Homo-oligomer: A and B are copies of this chain.
């Protein structure tokens, strides 16, 4: 196969943030929205480091029905309130077709989770909204199936799609998943969609998040989505893979160094 010449088509959100341009985009936040105080604590750190996108889960898909399933609408209200207070944009997941109108009302970017990558009715539903979609790759999906899922969304008229590589399932058990940097390089080179790397789910361990974030960017990712938490040890979900807020500066610095090595950048915080 040969060098490709596809150029990424940037996605602009609220005439404000551009994803897929020269700058790297960071999307940070807790796995689950747990409280107003929790989200506010995260937002303060984001603003201090120039991060504009706040992620958080209000509806949580959990393997066990007995695990915390999220705050639902209250979680969305918390995200929106804190985001508006700090001038941030919200990325959050729609778990089912029935949630799409509600999520679209509160979110700036609608996330489709890994387990739902081939839930076609949901893809069609977000394809009929005017919100950008962060499409997580199924942990069992080939690159071909991932792009076909994007095609399901685009077929309903919404082409503002962000492809998110979050690790695939392999035989390796030392890490939660295997970050597929080959896939990042491949979709970056062969599709017009911006690519986001998720080092949190791809590794499942805090100590590997920053190296994996570097690898995703070096492979060509246009951004990163990373789970952070004020007190990971108390998180209601994914604590073992969440970065404590104290490590956000190290993450931003690592991303900036790799971005600059590639002739790209990471936005600086607005001066107050």
**Cross-chain contact of A178 among B66, B119, B182 (Cβ < 8 A):** B182
With an 8 Å Cβ cutoff, the count of chain A residues facing the other chain is 74
Q: Does A143 contact B (CB under 8 A)?
A: yes
* Interface locus among A34-42, A50-58, A75-83, A167-175: A167-175
Q: Does A212 contact B (CB under 8 A)?
A: yes
For the complex, would chain A's binding face be called helix, strand, loop or mixed by DSSP majority?
helix
| A264 CB, min distance to chain B CBs, angstroms | 11
Contact B174 A65 (CB under 8 A): no
Contact A96 B97 (CB under 8 A): yes
Contact B211 A218 (CB under 8 A): yes
Contact A143 B172 (CB under 8 A): yes
Contact B215 A181 (CB under 8 A): yes
* Contact A120 to B142, CB < 8 A, known contacts A172-B180, A185-B208, A215-B181: no
Which chain B residue has the least Cβ–Cβ distance from A199? B182
Query: How far apart sit A122 and B116, CA to CA, in the bound complex (Å)?
Result: 11
Contact A218 B214 (CB under 8 A): yes
A209-223 interface bits toward B, Cβ cutoff 8 Å, 1 = contact, 0 = none? 001101111111000
Q: Does A236 contact B (CB under 8 A)?
A: no
Contact A140 B142 (CB under 8 A): no
User: Please, which residues of chain B bring their CB within 8 A of the CB of A207?
Assistant: 1-4, 189
**Cross-chain contact of A185 among B4, B139, B211 (Cβ < 8 A):** B211
Contact B212 A181 (CB under 8 A): yes
Contact A96 B121 (CB under 8 A): yes
Contact A119 B120 (CB under 8 A): no
| A183 CB, min distance to chain B CBs, angstroms | 7
* Contact A208 to B180, CB < 8 A, known contacts A120-B61, A144-B174, A258-B218: no
Contact A121 B95 (CB under 8 A): yes
Which chain B residue has the least Cβ–Cβ distance from A240? B1
Q: Does A155 contact B (CB under 8 A)?
A: yes
Q: Does A17 contact B (CB under 8 A)?
A: no
Q: Does A74 contact B (CB under 8 A)?
A: no
| A240 CB, min distance to chain B CBs, angstroms | 8
**Cross-chain contact of A182 among B186, B189, B203 (Cβ < 8 A):** B203
Query: How far apart sit A63 and B141, CA to CA, in the bound complex (Å)?
Result: 10
Q: Does A16 contact B (CB under 8 A)?
A: no
Could you pull out 10 A-B pairs where Cβ atoms are within 8 angstroms?
A: A97-B98, A138-B140, A142-B172, A174-B182, A184-B215, A185-B203, A185-B215, A186-B208, A211-B219, A214-B262
Leading 7 A-B pairs by shortest Cβ distance: A140-B140, A96-B121, A218-B218, A185-B211, A214-B218, A261-B261, A181-B215
